[in-house]
Structure 1
């Protein structure tokens, strides 16, 4: 990338700035940014520079070093959140069957909840299984980005976001907005009450979760970590699962390089290797 300030850029932005952003994000969140993300980093961080009324990128990184409360804003700015209701629908069929086969299921964790579409999809499947919003299953939804967690907790979405949801589910689980909310939908309060939203950094050595967990949804997240970080997080997750627990990954993820930790049991679905589980209730 150019070392100079392009005419269409408000602030000088060099490869040094880009690499500082990359190394800082890796240190704080374990996420590796590709070389192609330089323009994205500029557009995302320039908003923080304007908000803080700083002179430029160098001043921003100095601010970041001396203000720990900016760390979360930095992570929020650079993490990508792409999701949809019932994305990769075969996984929700897997969840349905798991609930049938494992009537003692008590805990499901959505480890990258983003703006909430995934955990609400999970909650819908659970509510349908029990034909009730009152179920014995605890659903935990977490994300490293505190901003998207707030959106998830609100449970308000543009109407077209539920285009792929069946009419029966639309009627049962969503309310159409009126007045100022015209054009939006809101998940029904009973569905929201089924989910506990908390912030979790997967790099942390301790997660504030009760264990064992029966099902973990962690889809299209590991692709942002290097192999060493993947191994650490996967081992932590497998140790948090029940012995017959299920780990559901994204379509672009494959963990065949960790046969000592995790074993495939279906299309992007895994179980912990027998004997690995050491989680305590």
Structure 2
């Protein structure tokens, strides 16, 4: 197995952290273990040549392969259900009551393979009921990986992944693929989610600010200064009265952020 010398390790993790915010400064063994097969498949004899290539000649596709190897796009339907309950029972009633333009702007940042934005879309449709067609509820879903975004756009999931969803939702919002245990998101639900490739290190210049930003279990890869800067950008992109929801295992600096703490992992722009 190829080993990564200290200089190449520093060059590689510095590049990844600067451009993508991902802190791998303590993950030398992980990098070695996960990238050896990539070196072989690309014809590199050692890490030095590979790191040179990534820093000087790589394409977006090459870097995406690198990031997919080193990070985990782990998610599932109804993950951290307390967030969805709070969204349904607290956030949506407040937003809908005060919205005159009938536009809900929700961003799933780091959406992975789509379970989160599709679930949010279902929750909104269920809450609005018959009035849903009168609202613009399209959800922006972004990720740095085109690979997971393509999976999300297909909206195809194994039956076992739906086990925590109410049976009524499965019947209404998924179609079983004939002779398989695969379920496909309905065209109506797909149309309510807009997928885009986006690097969270980039400036946030979307068309309108957001009522709710979900960014869960993404910042676990970031160091504190990177997290603080991203939360500041989120704040500037949030409507007054809007919310930021992060993962239950994550924290943000309550003393420096302008968001106000609401409940665990939920913050609001007052």
**What's the TM-score, normalizing by structure 2?**
0.88
Measured in 1, the distance between the counterparts of 2:21 and 2:253 equals 21
In structure 2, the residue matched to 1:249 is 246
Alignment pair present for 1:93 and 2:107 = no
Q: Find the partner of 2:50 among 57, 60, 68.
A: 60
How far does residue 87 in structure 1 lie from its aligned partner after superposition? 0.8
8 A Cα contact 2:105 2:139, kept in partner: yes
Aligned pair in 2 of structure 1 residues 84, 22: CA closer, same or farther (>3 Å)? same
Alignment pair present for 1:76 and 2:68 = yes
Aligned pair in 2 of structure 1 residues 102, 33: CA closer, same or farther (>3 Å)? same
How far does residue 246 in structure 1 lie from its aligned partner after superposition? 0.8
In structure 1, the residue matched to 2:232 is 235
In structure 1, the residue matched to 2:268 is 271
Kindly provide the CA deviation profile for residues 91-123 of structure 1, in whole angstroms up to 9, marking residues without a partner as x: 112211322121125200000101111111111
1:64 counterpart SS class = helix
In structure 2, the residue matched to 1:277 is none
Measured in 2, the distance between the counterparts of 1:34 and 1:82 equals 21
How far does residue 164 in structure 1 lie from its aligned partner after superposition? 1.1
8 A Cα contact 1:123 1:194, kept in partner: yes
8 A Cα contact 1:231 1:258, kept in partner: no
In structure 1, the residue matched to 2:18 is 27
8 A Cα contact 1:175 1:185, kept in partner: yes
Measured in 2, the distance between the counterparts of 1:66 and 1:260 equals 37
Q: Give unpaired runs (5+ residues) of structure 2.
A: none
Measured in 1, the distance between the counterparts of 2:11 and 2:158 equals 36
How far does residue 16 in structure 1 lie from its aligned partner after superposition? 4.3
Measured in 1, the distance between the counterparts of 2:94 and 2:85 equals 12
Measured in 1, the distance between the counterparts of 2:152 and 2:263 equals 29
8 A Cα contact 1:256 1:263, kept in partner: no
Q: Give unpaired runs (5+ residues) of structure 1.
A: 1-8, 275-281
Q: Which has the higher helix share?
A: 2
In structure 2, the residue matched to 1:167 is 167
Q: Find the partner of 1:117 among 106, 115, 118.
A: 115
- Superposed, 1:148-187 pairs within 5 Å as 148-179=148-179, 182-187=180-185
Kindly provide the CA deviation profile for residues 258-279 of structure 1, in whole angstroms up to 9, marking residues without a partner as x: 444221012211012x4xxxxx
Q: Find the partner of 1:51 among 30, 38, 41.
A: 41
- Superposed, 1:189-268 pairs within 5 Å as 189-205=187-203, 207-268=204-265
8 A Cα contact 2:77 2:162, kept in partner: yes
**What's the TM-score, normalizing by structure 1?**
0.85
